[in-house]
Amino acid sequence: MSANESPSGKHPTATSEAVRDSAFLKACRREPVPHTPVWFMRQAGRSLPEYRKVREGIPMLESCMRPELVTEITLQPVRRHNVDAAIFFSDIVVPLKAIGIDLDIKPGVGPVVENPVRTRADLARLRDLTPEDVSYVTEAIGLLTRELGATPLIGFAGAPFTLASYLVEGGPSRTYENAKAIMYGDPGLWADLLDRLADITAAFLKVQIEAGACAVQLFDSWAGALSPADYRHSVMPASAKVFQAVAGYGVPRIHFGVGTGELLGLMGEAGADVVGVDWRVPLDEAARRVGPGKALQGNLDPTVLFSTREAVETKTREVLDAAAGLEGHVFNLGHGVMPATDPDALTRLVDHVHTLTAR
C-alpha cells in the first residue's frame, strides 16, 4: 500500500506533497522543521467576530451540518492568524447525533442528552455509524482541502470516555458520578459501552481521513478525572482500539486531555504519535513521562493571553525553552481558546513563535 492510498483501497487520501512537507506534519513525524508549527484548539469559534457573524441565528449542531458554513468557519482562523494547521469545524457529539441520539448543544452549556445512556437496554441505541450518516462531513472536507492548499487539515473526534461522560451524565459534569458508578459497579456494561463508542469514533475518524484530513486528534478532554489504574483498566483499551483502527492510514494521531499529567505515559501508550499536554506539566517533564518516539503538543496556559504582551512573550519563551530538547514539538495552548480572548493576541502569538524558532 502506498502512503497515498487508504487501507480500504477505495479512495486515495488527498494529502498532497506540499501538505506532507508542511512544518506541522514534519513536527508530528519528529523530522526537522523550518519553524515550530502552531495551531490552537478551538481556534475557530467565539473569539472571532467573523465567526459570531456567520453563526448568527444558526444553532451549533445545524452549523456543523452545512458544508459551506463549516468550510468558511474552518478557514477563518487560517486567514486571520497564519496558523500552521486548520482543524475541522464540528463537535465531538456530531457522530452521536448522526446515529440518532437525542441530544443538543445548548448555548452557554454544551452538549445535553435528553435520555441518558445508563442501562444495557440503552446500549441498543448506539448503532454503528456509516459514512452516509455524516455525508456533510465528507462534503465539507472535500471543499476544504481544495481551499486550504498547503495547509494541513486536522480531523478530530471525542474519545470513548469523554463521549461516555456526556451520554451517561446527560450533559457537562464536574464529577462524572453516574459514569463512574457504572465503571465501578457494572464493569461489563461499562466495557461494552466504551467498546461501542470506540467503533463509532473510529468510523467517524475514518470518514474524515478518507475525505482528506491528514492528521487526527482524539479529544479525551475529561480523562484527567481518572486515576492511572482506572484509566489503564477501564478506558485505555477503548481508546487504543480507536488508534489501532486508523493506524493503517499513516496519518499522525494526536491524543489530548486536560489535567492528564499523571496519564501522559498511558495516553502515549494507547497508540498516539503526538501527545497533547495541558499547562500543568512543563514539556521537558512531559517528555520524560511520555518517553521516546513521540512528539508533544502544547502547552501555553490559555488564560495567559489575557495578560500583558510582555507576560505572553515571557510565558511563550518558557514553553519553547522547555520544548528545546524534544524530538518533535507542535506549539498549542494547554486547552481551547477562551471565547473572550483578543484575536489579535493570538495572531501576535503565532508570529512570535514563528520568529523565535525560525531555523
Q: Which residues are catalytic?
A: 42, 46, 55, 91, 166
Q: Is 46 a binder of ligand 1CP (CB under 6 A)?
A: yes
For residue 257, say whether it is annotated as part of any ligand binding site.
Answer: no
Select from 18, 57, 13, 241 the least CA-distant residue to 149: 18
- To ligand 1CP, the closest distance from the beta carbon of 159 in angstroms equals 9
Q: Distance of alpha carbon 151 from its chain centroid, rounded?
A: 17
> Among 5, 91, 104, 147, which residue sits at the site for ligand 1CP (rule: CB under 6 A)?
91
Distance separating alpha carbons of residues 269 and 11, to the nearest angstrom: 29
Other residues' Cβ atoms within 10 Å of the Cβ of residue 188:
9
- To ligand 1CP, the closest distance from the beta carbon of 173 in angstroms equals 7
- To ligand 1CP, the closest distance from the beta carbon of 75 in angstroms equals 11
For residue 166, say whether it is annotated as part of any ligand binding site.
Answer: yes
Q: Is 293 a binder of ligand 1CP (CB under 6 A)?
A: no
> Among 24, 176, 190, 219, which residue sits at the site for ligand 1CP (rule: CB under 6 A)?
219
For residue 184, say whether it is annotated as part of any ligand binding site.
Answer: no
Of residues 44 and 254, the one with the C-beta less far from ligand 1CP: 44
Given the rule CB under 6 A, which of 38-46, 138-146, 243-251, 302-310 is the region that contacts ligand 1CP?
38-46
Q: Is 49 a binder of ligand 1CP (CB under 6 A)?
A: no
Other residues' Cβ atoms within 10 Å of the Cβ of residue 358:
9
CA end-to-end span of the chain, whole Å?
34
- To ligand 1CP, the closest distance from the beta carbon of 205 in angstroms equals 13
CA distances from 301 to 57, 62, 89, 304, 316 (A): 32, 31, 22, 6, 9
User: Per residue in 114-139, is it b (16+ CB within 10 Å) or e — as a string?
Assistant: eebbbeeeeeeebeebeeebbebbbb
Interface residues with ligand 1CP (CB under 6 A)? 41-46, 60, 87, 89, 91-92, 105, 107, 110-111, 156, 162, 172, 219, 221, 336
